[in-house]
Every structure is written in structure tokens, then in C-alpha cells.
Structure 1
Amino acid sequence: MTHPLKLALIAAAVSLLALPAQAHRGWLLPSATVLSGPDVWVTVDAAISNDLFYFEHHPMQLDNLSIEGPDGKAVTPENMAKGRFRSSFDFKLAQPGTYKLMVANQGMFASYKLDGQNKRWRGKTEELAKAIPAKATDVKVTESRSRIESFVTSGKPSSDTLKPTGVGLEMVPVTHPNNLVAGEKATFRLMLDGQPARDVAVEIVPGGIRYRDKLNDSKVTTDESGAFSVTWPGPGFYWMSASVRDDKSTIKNAQRRSSYAATVEVLPQ
């Protein structure tokens, strides 16, 4: 093997080791987050991918999509489509204020042994009782609640859509999510079932992973009030996520995993 070829192979191996670890991330990506005008529309991409924000793994299911308008009423998405790697939809911002986009899912996951073999099952809560055979052993059940959000504002920002529902893991912005500026600090609060989510790790990842060899993520931990702060290093779209495991499942003897993720846009100064 020639010396130049050896060097090339070594360089390729080093570059592969430097790549961020693969992790599937679910996200909603609006075409814009701050708009104005009389006839305003936004297109939203929805996907589950390794890189942010690129389509290379799986489209997000939109069965549980909801769009809440500034007046608290539901907004109907239009032109919904599902492709090989992404889903998408449009919606009109018919009134000024802040809109919340959300995909909330709930389901059950179980692992067990049957006749000495490891088995796994995933499905709806009402299907669990019939899904696990009576002679199964080493049964472990987890209830999963996930919430994926983004925010879009037409004209002057409003706050009614930012109120928590009191169910699952949620983010309550202290700094408005459509008023984020590079170099400035923003503060948010995590709530779990309406109570402060204390000592929870929050991961913040800037988009554009595909074009760099480092994830460039940062992690912060919520305080006693569930609050955490981020000083944005630069403009662009960011993905924030957190999860909590506890024994507060609605199903007896089951664990619960509550997760939250949001896409926000940080504007230049």
C-alpha cells in the first residue's frame, strides 16, 4: 500500500470517530417563526432523523398533531402530506399573535420472556392487558408520554398559547420563544404534571449537524423552580429536549417516561 493511500485511510477513520453519535430526534421545523402581514402562511416539516434538521430517517406521524391559535382555538392544518423521509403541512396565521404547534403521543412499551425467549411489544394502553401472555415472566412495562412543539408568531407576540396543560412534561417559556436573539440569555421552565420539574437535564443542539464534525450541544439542569437558562451562541434553529423517568404511571407496576422536545429559532442581533 502506498504511503499517500495509508494516510488517506487513516484520515477517513479519524473523521468517522469524530462524528457525533447517532440519535433519533423528532422535530417540527416551521419555514419561519416570526412573520407579519395580512395573508401569512407557514409550511412545517416534521421528521425523525439523526441530523438536525435533515430528512434521512423517517417521517413523523401527524395523527396527534394540534395547532393552537392565539385565541385558544384549534387551527386546521392544510395540504398534509407524508413522504419517504418527512411529513409536512401548511397553516394560515389568520390572526395576530403566537401559535403553538404540537404533536403529543402516549403509548406503552413492554419487554418480557416467553418460553425462554426475549419478547418486546409496543402499542396502546388499552391493548396492554391482552398483549402480554399470561405465562410471560420478567415483565417490564413502561408508559411513554412525549410532546414535540414549535412556536410561530404573526405580528405582536402573545402568551395565551404558552400556558401549560398540567399533563406530562411541558415547557413554560419565561422568555418568549419567538423573541430569542443570538448572544442574549433566554429562560424557560420545565413542568411535570403542572409541578416544577427539578434537577432535569436539558440538551440544546444547534441545527446543521450534517456540516460539522462535532455535535456542539450543551446541557443545563433545571433549578428548584424547574427553570433553566440558555445564552445562544449564534443565530439559527435549535432543538431542545429533556426526559424524566418515574413510577407515576397510570398503569399499575409500570414505569413512566415523559419526554419533551421543541424547535426554536434564534435571530441575529
Structure 2
Amino acid sequence: MMLKKHAIVAATLALAALSAQAHDLWFKPSSTVLSKSDWVTVDAAVSNDVFFFNHRPLGLENVKITGPDGSAVEMKNAHKGELRSVFDFKPEKPGTYRVTMLMNGVMGGYKDANGQPKRVRGSAEEILKQIPADAKDVNITENVRRMETFVSVGKPTGIALTGKGLELKPVTHPNDLVSSEEAKFEFQIDGKPAANLEVELVADGIRYRDGVEPLKFKTDANGLLTVKFPRAGLYWLSTDAKDNKTTVAKATERRLGYVATLEVLP
């Protein structure tokens, strides 16, 4: 019963996050590169501007922290404020730690017997129950999104991919980024290179400049992206895609998203 309750809560929170796609979701770690074991504090929010608290806190129920060996790392001092959430964790062993939030859900729409448009959200099972038998123009969409950031103690270690959805496969490790050097990333969809994917990078400090000033790129035929960051600092990386490779019955479209916070050193 408790597991079922947790699943319902997780699905509700994931759908709430998906409904906030008009806003930016992000993690902001206090540090991503450590020479020895130490505490890391992470801010998490949904905002109108990247890294600027001006909308609402991000729910932490779906956030997971994994260590270099894939084991779970405990989140400490989690707190949800009015504009942001915050939590701590302490990487104890050398290697790369991963802070991840998965946001999977289903949404749909149809026209009722009177021709009025209706929208539905929930699990695939719930949505199918909500759509009447005489509905017209039924449209169901599966959403699969991932948000993450990385913290390394000492030498960075490899990052395992799931082979599901839209993911970043490091060529240059996310904790080995330097402003004076080119970085390479490979993007994959379901384990295969994602060609011609539009990727956006936004530097921290939007509040103190005239505009967002995003950097826009596109992956090549092999899903590779080459970037030379203009300066050191935190960057918000975002990309999305869509296809018809759904895993949900009667869904005709799958929308994929990936967001990461990267720290670039001088």
C-alpha cells in the first residue's frame, strides 16, 4: 500500500514538473569539483530565469543521488521554501556523483460530444479512463524528461547511461570543463546518436545582464556537439526532441527532454 502511495505521489509530482515546461527547471550545486570529501549544497527551483529564484521551489521527491558505483547516496537537510528547495549531500569516496530527477508522464486531449476541447493528465491508465468512448480527435502524448548535475571527488569517473530517452554521453567529462579548451558531448536517444539536435546553453548571471544571451548549437550526424565556453562559470544546458516511439498504449507522440547544470572552470 505504501509503495502504491509513493508511486502516485511520484507521478503527480512528475506531471506537475511537466506542466511547468514554460518555466526553467534547474539544479544549482555549490561546487562540482572537490579535491577531497566535503559537503555539497544544491539549490533547486522552477523559475522564469535560469539560476534566479523568482517563481516556485522544485519538488525533491523524484530527486536521486547516486555514487560512482551506482549506489544511492542519502540526501540531507532537505528543505522546501517559498522560492526554492535546497538539500545537502556528502560524497565520501573518490569518483563522480550524479544528481538526477526523472520526469515521466502522459498528457492528452480530445473533443467531447459537443465538440468542446478537453485536456487530461495522469498515468496512461488514468487518462484512458478519463476519455469517453464517443470522444473525437483523441491525442495522447508521452513525456520523458531528465534533469541532472554531476559532482566529482578527485579524478572523475565514467557515467553509465540507461539507453532510455534523451541522454548525454560525455566525451569530455562534465567535471573536466575548462573555458580555454573545447569540450565534446554526445547526445543519444534510446542509446543511439541523436543527429541535428538543437542544444541551448545559458550562462549564470541573467539578472545582471541585458538579456538571456543563449548559446545555440546543433549536434552533427553522429550526435556530437563541440563547445568552447566563452567564460568560466555555471551553465544551464537544455535540449529536447520528439518522435513516435512511445511506450504508452494509444500515445501517438513522445516528447523527450534533457537538462543539465555544468560548471566550467577558468
TM > 0.5 fold call: yes
Provide the secondary structure at the position in 2 that maps to 1:129.
Answer: helix
- Residues 108 and 141 of structure 1 are in contact (CA less than 8 Å); yes or no, is this contact kept in structure 2? yes
The equivalent residue for 1:225 is 222
**Are 1:104 and 2:96 counterparts?**
no
**Are 1:214 and 2:211 counterparts?**
yes
The equivalent residue for 1:44 is 42
* CA 116–221 in structure 1, closer or farther in 2 if over 3 Å, else same: same
The equivalent residue for 1:54 is 52
**Are 1:197 and 2:194 counterparts?**
yes
Structure possessing the higher radius of gyration over alpha carbons = 1
Cα RMSD of the aligned pairs, angstroms, is 1.5
Q: Name the TM-score, length of structure 1 as normaliser.
A: 0.87
Deviation string 1:216-248 (CA, Å, 9 cap, x unpaired) is 111111112211011000011001111111111
Comparing 131-140 with 24-33, greater Cα deviation is found at 131-140
Aligned-partner residue type, residue 142 of structure 1:
T
Q: Structure 1 segments of 4 or more deviating over 6 A?
A: none
- Residues 183 and 228 of structure 2 are in contact (CA less than 8 Å); yes or no, is this contact kept in structure 1? yes
Say which of 169, 173, 178 aligns to 1:172.
169
- Residues 181 and 267 of structure 1 are in contact (CA less than 8 Å); yes or no, is this contact kept in structure 2? yes
Deviation string 1:43-90 (CA, Å, 9 cap, x unpaired) is 111111111201111221222211110122111111112122211111
- Residues 46 and 59 of structure 1 are in contact (CA less than 8 Å); yes or no, is this contact kept in structure 2? yes
Say which of 62, 65, 74 aligns to 1:64.
62
Percent pairwise identity: 51
* CA 218–23 in structure 1, closer or farther in 2 if over 3 Å, else same: farther
**Are 1:124 and 2:123 counterparts?**
yes
- Residues 59 and 84 of structure 1 are in contact (CA less than 8 Å); yes or no, is this contact kept in structure 2? yes
Distance 2:131 2:138 in 1: 8
Residue 133 of structure 1: CA displacement? 2.2
Distance 1:181 1:154 in 2: 17
Aligned-partner residue type, residue 58 of structure 2:
M
**Count of residues in correspondence between the two structures:** 244
Aligned-partner residue type, residue 216 of structure 2:
K
Residue 197 of structure 1: CA displacement? 0.8
- Residues 200 and 242 of structure 1 are in contact (CA less than 8 Å); yes or no, is this contact kept in structure 2? yes
The equivalent residue for 2:146 is 147
Comparing 110-119 with 28-37, greater Cα deviation is found at 110-119
Structure 1 stretches lacking a partner, 5+ long: 1-21
Structure 2 stretches lacking a partner, 5+ long: 1-20
Say which of 72, 76, 85 aligns to 1:87.
85
Aligned-partner residue type, residue 170 of structure 1:
E
The equivalent residue for 1:12 is none
Residue 253 of structure 1: CA displacement? 4.2
Distance 2:97 2:251 in 1: 38
Distance 2:22 2:205 in 1: 15
Aligned-partner residue type, residue 267 of structure 1:
L
